[in-house]
Amino acid sequence: MDERNIVLIGMMASGKTTVGGLLAAALGRPLVDTDALIEEKEGRTIPAIFAADGEGYFRDRERETAQDLARRTGLVIACGGGLPLHADAIAPLHETGVVFWLCRDPGITYDSGVLGDRPLAQDGRAAFLDRFAQREPVYRRWAHHIITDPVSPEAGLNAILEVLRA
């Protein structure tokens, strides 16, 4: 297996960090979660960044983070759900890595109750489903491979490993 980064995209709470952690462990690679990295650099949570400085400020940090990670190799990268909506953030990761879209049913994701205080998940189920419908073609465009409705994080891991071994 080559040293290109493995990049996970998808809606918030679709399992990118969980599956990414399993994948990183299986491959002996570091996991980098773009949201966690931004929080670490900023010294505050994403909801706090949105509240204080707005989404535009956060997207600028996200773009800088993605461009930096694209210059590295051998990583498993779990991207924030909105990162692929910005070509200047996702394009470098797409060019230097293998992008997997974890496509989980948005209704199941919303109903699971795992969204918590995420700023872009506070407007109700219909808005969340609409956000998925808007993002779906973007995720599809940037994904090299689509992992559809894995029944568990382990199933998502195994599906990705199958593709990587092929």
Domain range enclosing 80: 5-165
Query: Rounded mean pLDDT of 145-160?
Result: 92
pLDDT digits (tens, 9 = 90+) for 87-137: 999 999 999 999 999 998 888 877 776 666 665 566 778 888 898 999 999
Concatenating the DSSP letter of every residue in the chain gives: ----EEEEE-STTSSHHHHHHHHHHHHT--EEEHHHHHHHHHTS-HHHHHHHHHHHHHHHHHHHHHHHHHT--S-EEE--TTGGGSHHHHHHHHHHEEEEEEE--HHHHHHTT--TT-GGG-S-HHHHHHHHHHHHHHHHHH-SEEEE--SSHHHHHHHHHHHHH-
Is 86's pLDDT higher than 90? yes
Total count of domains within the chain: 1
pLDDT digits (tens, 9 = 90+) for 57-67: 999 999 999 99
| 117 CB-contact burial (10 Å; exposed 0-12 / middle 13-18 / buried 19+) | exposed
Q: pLDDT-derived band of residue 140, with 50, 70 and 90 as boundaries?
A: very high
pLDDT digits (tens, 9 = 90+) for 13-68: 788 999 999 999 999 999 999 999 999 999 999 889 999 999 899 999 999 999 99
Residue 156 or residue 123, greater confidence: 156
Q: What local confidence, expressed as pLDDT, does residue 111 receive?
A: 77
Kindly report the pTM of this predicted structure: 0.91
CATH number where 71 lies: 3.40.50.300
